[in-house]
Amino acid sequence: MISKENTDFVNIVTFFESPEERNIENLSKVYEDHNIMREGIISILDPDFLNNIDNRSILIKPNWVRHSLKEKDEICLRTNDNLLVVVLEIILTKSPKRILIGDAPIQISNWDGIVSQKLYNKISELSKQYNIPIHIRDFRRVTFDPEKNEITKERKSLNEYVIFNTGEKSYLEPISKKRKSGFRVTNYNPDRLAESHNLGTHKYCIIKELFEVDVVLSIPKIKTHEKTAITGALKNLVGVNGDKDYLPHHRVGGTGFGGDCYPGKSVLRRLSEYFRDKANRKQGKYSYRPWILASDIFWIISRPKNVHQIAAAWYGNDTTWRMVMDLNIIAEFGTKDGTLHEKSQRRIYSLTDGIIAGQGNGPLYPDPLPFGCLSFSNNNALNDICMARLMNFDERKISLLLNARKNFVSNETRITINKKEVDEKELTEYSIKTNPPIGWIGYL
């Protein structure tokens, strides 16, 4: 669904002048220097973006996927706080009407561990200084504490969301079944997901504010992703969906059973999945933990290899990329009445945080990668194709990027790096060796 009026572009700026400077220690200092970040950001911003902020409503969508578990998470897991503040300062000088900042982290995340009081205070100061309302929101409807086995449902009323049905237009439709839904999210109730996704029906729970803003600025953290190889601008828009019970991530069973959770057939792994489903139906109840234990035991004794992941974390995952495509179309063409318009309904840009990226077991447990780049783009697909090249991955082997190029990227494209126009092949000169997720080792 390509309907761009302007040339698709990606502008990239680097924060290293030599390979020796491209290290974690040096790049960590960039996050502490607001002037360097401001200069870098301004050098890649497009005039079209800056000219369309005045008196407009803006949604800023960072990557706030999960709270930190380790010290390194502060630099490679989420959109950097200081970068977000610098972006806000630049936008506020252009006099927007209002700004909303929000995301839907995974349900086990601690919100206060994601958005610190220091960040809240700084954003509040900026709001008062410019006399422009800025609101921060947790878009989630459901949270779950696995340690306490406590689930909190209906945190927000459904009135705050639009239940958007892409129906037969969904990219999930070709792999949907007529009777019983095989879609799964590893730690979520499969029955709720079945209510939203089956043949002819593909519902998403979209925050209502998305349909009330003029401009969306996505600020993803570029990382590897266990199900889609990378997560960047495309995957970041999944966070406008407020309830992950509406988000298919894989199909139950191995490829030999008609699913895409892992390759081949295995009765032991299939039993493990069955017990996992039992557990997820019992969240908040005493029987939850015994079923989880049974699932874990059967998975272990199945002697899994790298490509055998109960969360479908491997290169053969044929579901997640389709869900991501659906949500990108909704974000751009969706209307408040739950239908897709033929023309773009809002301007969508991305400013990708790759000063320090994430590699290895992303998106939740990444290791720092001295990526050294920021990018700004009006096309999420083209942006992520460029990021894959810079990660030294073959984007032709990544289903999300292969299909996004076909459907979202026009023939008119422009790529610049440090203000020099380049083609995609030339990006490899700036690439860095990146450790892929476990299930993608030897494939990318």
pLDDT of residue 399: 98
CA–CA gap between residue 309 and residue 302 (Å, rounded): 11
What is the pLDDT averaged over residues 304-315? 96
Of the listed ranges 40-44, 140-144, 365-369, the one predicted with least confidence: 140-144
Helices (H), 77-116: 81-92, 111-114
- Rg over alpha carbons for the chain, rounded to the nearest Å, is 21
Q: How confident is the model at residue 144 (pLDDT cuts 50, 70, 90)?
A: confident
Q: How confident is the model at residue 2 (pLDDT cuts 50, 70, 90)?
A: low
pTM of the predicted protein model: 0.95
What is the pLDDT averaged over residues 359-388? 98
What is the pLDDT averaged over residues 186-193? 88
Average pLDDT, the chain: 95
Q: What angle do CA 207, 209, 215 make, to 5 degrees?
A: 120
Please name every residue paired with 207 in a beta bridge, in sequence order, or none if there are none.
Answer: 161
CA–CA gap between residue 437 and residue 444 (Å, rounded): 10
CA–CA gap between residue 331 and residue 314 (Å, rounded): 27
pLDDT (tens digit per residue) in 270-292: 999 999 999 999 988 999 999 99
Of the candidates 432, 423, 418, 349, the residue with the CA atom closest to the CA atom of residue 388: 432
Which tokens belong to 48? 């079209």
pLDDT (tens digit per residue) in 403-425: 999 999 998 999 999 999 999 99
Which tokens belong to 74? 């502060």
- On the question of pLDDT at 3 being above 80, the answer is no
Which tokens belong to 387? 């990021």
- On the question of pLDDT at 180 being above 80, the answer is no
pLDDT of residue 155: 85
pLDDT (tens digit per residue) in 312-365: 999 999 999 999 999 999 999 999 999 999 999 999 999 999 999 999 999 999
CA–CA gap between residue 75 and residue 188 (Å, rounded): 28
What is the pLDDT averaged over residues 19-46? 97
- On the question of pLDDT at 153 being above 80, the answer is no
pLDDT of residue 186: 87
CA end-to-end distance (rounded Å), the chain: 27
pLDDT of residue 6: 74
Please name every residue paired with 431 in a beta bridge, in sequence order, or none if there are none.
Answer: none
Which tokens belong to 342? 């033929």
CA–CA gap between residue 137 and residue 250 (Å, rounded): 28
CA 210 to chain centroid, in Å, comes to 16
Which tokens belong to 190? 């499969």
Q: Encode burial over 187-213: b for 16+ CB neighbours within 10 A, e otherwise.
A: bbbbebbbebbbeebbbbbbbebbbeb
pLDDT of residue 306: 95
- On the question of pLDDT at 115 being above 80, the answer is yes
What is the pLDDT averaged over residues 364-368? 98
User: What are the respective helix, strand and coil percentages of the chain, to the nearest 5?
Assistant: 40, 20, 40
